[in-house]
Amino acid sequence: MVQSEASKSANGEASISETEHVRWLHMYEQMLKIRVFEEHVNILYTTAKMPGLAHLYIGEEAIAVGVCEALRRDDYITSTHRGHGHCLAKGASVDLMYAELLGKEAGYCKGKGGSMHIADQSTGNLGANAIVAGSTGIATGAAFSSKMRGTDQVTVCFFGDGALGQGLLYEVMNMASLWKLPVIYVCENNLYNEYTHYSETTAGDMSGRAKAFGILTEEVDGQDVRVVYATAQRLVERARQGEGPAFLLCNTYRYHGHHVGDIQRSYYRSKEEEEQWKTERDPLKLLVAWMTEQQMLDAATLEQIEQRVRTEIEVGVEFGLNAPYPERNEVDQDVYA
Ligand SMILES: Cc1ncc(C[n+]2csc(CCOP(=O)(O)OP(=O)(O)O)c2C)c(N)n1
Ligand SMILES: [Mg+2]
């Protein structure tokens, strides 16, 4: 992971170091990769090339990227039904992800898991999970394991605001606090649980639920990757030093429907609300604006990054489409049901 702080220029003003510059460019590229990856997932679904369905993360990219940038490769994450962004931010291969989504043998789960079950042990990704809050037990167990094994690995547990309605989360937060486990609970509050605004399902203060267990809490603007990254870095280092768990509440918004088929959304949220987030609070636009202001980004660099990302994604889509399906006689292999 890249590490450095703002240095002082000759005239004494804080300036962006070369290392930081590289890191911000990388973070922008990662966010764009998630967005373009998912735009193509949407195309694959609407053109009936992809079986099953998918929950798009577009709009929330700054959280996965800001948090995963603060992690080492051997740190762990667990993810959710809306998990492509987490997987890619932790370093998953675009090719193998498309192969999985398209049901192909080369995919992360040999094509048998699909969008909601991608796991990638090589990058410390213990898996997406279709059960709301299901990954909270796995993440806490992984953190317990790191502690027992005496490693300094940290686990990040991503989940949506809907998971705050699940009892398991409270059992594991209790344990994590008592045993000072190196786990960060990252709650992505995108305002909705499926088609219901969180205010109709979630009483009281979200962070207060973690505070009740004596867990350190932070609340950030999930559209601003700079604040997500800075806060995650602090919480991760603290956990690595044995100072225990934290709860990071990130306020965000999903641009698309709950899943790719949810296209008539006016009965639960307005077009104006969607437009406002897209125009005023878009995480990519916010980062580009700041980097441009800091003279870290010009039109030519933006174009180069865009080209690189689009090529990687197009190659990945082709790879997935052309890859073979598993053999028929493998249908009952590697499945547990
Ligand atoms: C235990 C359980 N109950 C219900 C569902 C159906 N379900 C799938 S996603 C979802 C809403 C999740 O909302 P949130 O946690 O806020 O995540 P988001 O989709 O907003 O990212 C529900 C209720 C499920 N998958 N698991
Ligand atoms: Mg939600």
Q: What is the pLDDT of residue 334?
A: 87
Ligand 1 pocket, mutate which of 194, 251, 255 (most atoms under 8 A from CB): 194
Ligand 1 pocket, mutate which of 193, 200, 268 (most atoms under 8 A from CB): 193
Of ligand 1's listed atoms, the one at least distance from the Cα of 133 is 1
- What tokens appear for 233 in the block? 């870095």
Give the ligand at the shortest distance from the Cα of 169: 1
Q: Which residues neighbour 289 within 8 Å (Cβ) at sequence distance 6 or greater?
A: none
Domains and their CATH numbers in the chain: 17-319 (3.40.50.970)
Distance 187 CA to ligand 2 centre (A): 9
Distance 212 CA to ligand 1 centre (A): 24
pLDDT at 136 over 50: yes
Confidence of residue 234 (pLDDT cuts 50, 70, 90): very high
- What tokens appear for 115 in the block? 């969008």
pLDDT at 7 over 60: no
Cα distances (Å, whole numbers) of residue 239 to 183, 246, 290, 317: 7, 8, 30, 38
Q: Is the CB of 41 under 6 A from ligand 1?
A: no
Q: Is the CB of 193 under 6 A from ligand 1?
A: yes
pLDDT at 3 over 70: no
pLDDT at 1 over 80: no
Which is more confidently placed, 4 or 200? Answer: 200
Across the range 256-266, mean pLDDT stands at 95
pLDDT at 11 over 80: no
Mean pLDDT, the chain, whole residue set: 95
Give the ligand at the shortest distance from the Cα of 82: 1
pLDDT at 15 over 90: no
Per the CB < 8 A criterion, the answer to whether 234 and 31 are in contact is: no
pLDDT at 255 over 80: yes
Q: Is the CB of 192 under 6 A from ligand 1?
A: yes
Distance 254 CA to ligand 2 centre (A): 8
> What is the number of other CB atoms lying within 10 angstroms of the CB of residue 104?
20
Distance 326 CA to ligand 1 centre (A): 30
Alpha carbon nearest to ligand 1 atom 6, residue: 132
pLDDT at 303 over 60: yes
Q: What is the pLDDT of residue 336?
A: 79
Across the range 186-197, mean pLDDT stands at 98
pLDDT at 331 over 70: yes
Pairing between β-strand 196-197 and β-strand 76-78 as defined by DSSP bridges: unpaired
Confidence of residue 90 (pLDDT cuts 50, 70, 90): very high
d(CA 150, CA 314): 42
* Residue with token string 């000759």: 10
Q: Is the CB of 321 under 6 A from ligand 1?
A: no
Across the range 129-134, mean pLDDT stands at 97
pLDDT, tens digit, 9 for 90 and up, residues 145-179: 999 999 999 999 999 999 999 999 999 999 999 99
pTM, 2 dp: 0.96
Q: Is the CB of 130 under 6 A from ligand 1?
A: yes
